[in-house]
Amino acid sequence: MLDKVDLSPEHSRHMRILMLLAMVLLGGCASSVVVKPDIPNPLVKRLPLNAGLVYTDTFKNYVYLENEKKRGSLKSIDFAVAQTTMFDRVFGALTNLVDVDDPSRVLSIEPQILDFQYTAPSETKLKQYEIWIKYRLKLRDADNASVADWTIKGYGKTPTGLLTSASSAFNAATNIALRDVGAQLSTRFPRQRVVKTLLDGGVPAPIPELEEPEADEAAELAANGAEPEAGIEKSAKKSSVEEEPKDNVSEPKGPSGETETETATEANNET
């Protein structure tokens, strides 16, 4: 026989107190997190394209440090290995990865991290951890001329009820955000005009070399011309084609109020 479940008001009050205490313990202690990669290999068709990945020392050793004393949920988060794993697996599946000095290379891809943001239950009173990551991808041809300059954003969240510590929550949410970036690249990279030009045996037109991407650039186009795509934004000031209006896509916003991409939704107009 099953034991009778206590549904009294007193029992319910005790359960609510225990849940609140669990949230405080989960979100109130500052954590130093090292993210363990949990990135699957994308199931995509490999393009007949020899490409090389370029990782700077800053990218390979990136650690986010929280400097605001008022934010007590996170001290630091190291996801350098996780993000290089994601790019390795995505572009290893999409292209034939070669060394950047290989004479057969027709494209090099250099990812840079532009922004990292997070929220925790102790700050938002919501039962979830959230992560936003924004990357810049600089693409160069075989002669190292700049041919594309993109930004791409990933979003991840993890309910506290599924986890036992702030560290595991931040780890899971970061992996989800990285998977979001990987999913977008997997579906959209082959449709970018610079990639199509290379696959057709052409030479992409060079673009101006930018030290920093245009932070206020709203048009979601790949540099050097592409169809509108949610999640991949143009960073270059000029394109070889006229920009098309941005699709009206509703997206979650980061803690700074900037619109971020939550899922790798397919673009309305595929090429």
| Predicted TM-score of the model (pTM) | 0.73
CA atoms within 13 A on the CB side of 63: 12
Instruction: Give the pLDDT of residue 112.
Output: 97
Instruction: Give the pLDDT of residue 164.
Output: 76
- Phi, psi at 253, each rounded to 5°: -110, 145
Q: Topology of 29-234 in CATH? A: Double Stranded RNA Binding Domain (3.30.160)
Instruction: Give the pLDDT of residue 255.
Output: 64
Strands 74-78 and 31-34: parallel
Pure H helices in 189-215 = 193-199
Question: How high is the mean pLDDT in each 10-residue block of the chain (271 residues)?
Answer: 51 52 49 95 96 98 92 92 98 98 97 96 90 97 96 92 84 97 96 96 91 46 34 43 30 52 34 40
> Which structure tokens are listed for 234?
């143009």
Instruction: Give the pLDDT of residue 145.
Output: 96
Q: Helix 9-27 and helix 166-188: axis angle, to 10°?
A: 70
Angle, CA of 203, 204 and 207, to the nearest 5°: 140
Please report, in angstroms and rounded to a whole number, the separation of the first and last CA atoms in the chain: 63
Ordered by start, the domain boundaries in the chain are 29-234
